[in-house]
Amino acid sequence: MFLHALSLSAAVPGNVLDMTADLAPLFAGLVVTLGLSVLGIVGAIAFHDLRTAQPKTEKATTPPTPLPKAA
């Protein structure tokens, strides 16, 4: 009992601790959701940057000039 009186949880009423215990799964879900959202935004930015960084090459419309044959 003496150790419990020295802990920080002795200063907080029991019903407050119960409320924070109920919020723990919500907080974990919030962290997971925000993490996945950040990964999604980073993936979208990376995909956009890769698509715009690739130069669009056009095919040559004129046929190549034939080389003269060696004698």
Indicate whether 28 belongs to any domain: yes
Q: Which two tokens stand for residue 16?
A: 């407050």
Indicate whether 31 belongs to any domain: yes
Q: Which two tokens stand for residue 59?
A: 């095919």
Whole-model pTM over 0.85 = no
10: Cβ–Cβ under 8 A, 6 or more apart, which residues?
4
Structural domain tally of the chain? Answer: 1
Indicate whether 4 belongs to any domain: yes
Domain encompassing residue 30: 1-37
9: Cβ–Cβ under 8 A, 6 or more apart, which residues?
17
Is pLDDT above 90 for 13?
A: no
* 44 in Cβ contact with 36 (< 8 Å): no
Q: In this predicted model, what pLDDT tens digit does every residue of 16-55 receive, in sequence order?
A: 656 666 788 888 999 999 999 999 999 999 999 988 877 7
Indicate whether 62 belongs to any domain: no
